[in-house]
Amino acid sequence: MSDLITIAQKLGVDIDAELLSLALTHRSFAYENGGIPHNERLEFLGDSVLGQATTVLLYTRHPELDEGSLAKRRASVVSTVALAEVARSIGLGEHIRLGRGEEQTGGRDKDSILADTTEALIGATYLSVGQEAATTLVHRLIEPLLADPDRYGAAIDPKTALQELAARVVQSVPVYTIEGSGPDHDRRFVATVTVGDVVTTGEGTSKKTAEMAAALTAWHVLNDRA
């Protein structure tokens, strides 16, 4: 219960305790505990709320941008990599209910799990206190992405950020390789990016997400050097 209170306080939203617990329950935990409900339906709902709230915010804040530019910016802000950075900023990983397998393989810091749980929390907020409160939460979560480009710019577009930083720091171009595994309905990808002597990896449910995760890690390494 203390975990629920802590994350609710971090979010600043009075979410129904049962829905909050559900939002924090990953499917790996559910499967290991008799097939109890998990957060994927809430994630589905939260993804929709997140997309709408972000679209309206960008539309009203940037009258100078055309449709294509708005769509690109929205896709970047709600990407798995960007949402994972938001989740880390509130320490979300420590509150997620994970199965033993995910726990042992670093699931609390996996971009996909962090981003999915963030969306589930948005969905739980919508059901608990309505669309207006859910929209306010979305704006509060994504505002740092929009307001602090020095801190979050790489998270919004990590591949571009890495390419620019690599040209400046090591005069090199990032080179990506990728491997896939798992059945068609649950495909996983691991991308490796090499920049000079820096080699990092990233994981995701799509090639693009995996490459973005690898690029962000490499960006952090090079940025620390710079």
What residues are labeled active site? 47, 119
Instruction: Write the CA distances from 93 to 20, 149, 160, integer angstroms.
Output: 14, 23, 27
The one-letter amino acid code at 102 reads E
Q: How far apart are CA 14 and CA 60, in angstroms?
A: 27
Q: Are 110 and 203 in contact (CB under 8 A)?
A: yes
- 3 annotated among ligand-binding-site residues: no
Residues 6+ apart with CB under 8 A from 81: 111, 115, 155, 158, 209, 212, 213, 216
Instruction: Write the CA distances from 98 to 18, 22, 24, 37, 109, integer angstroms.
Output: 17, 12, 9, 13, 11
- 186 annotated among ligand-binding-site residues: no
- 43 annotated among ligand-binding-site residues: yes
Binding site feature residues for Mg(2+): 43, 116, 119
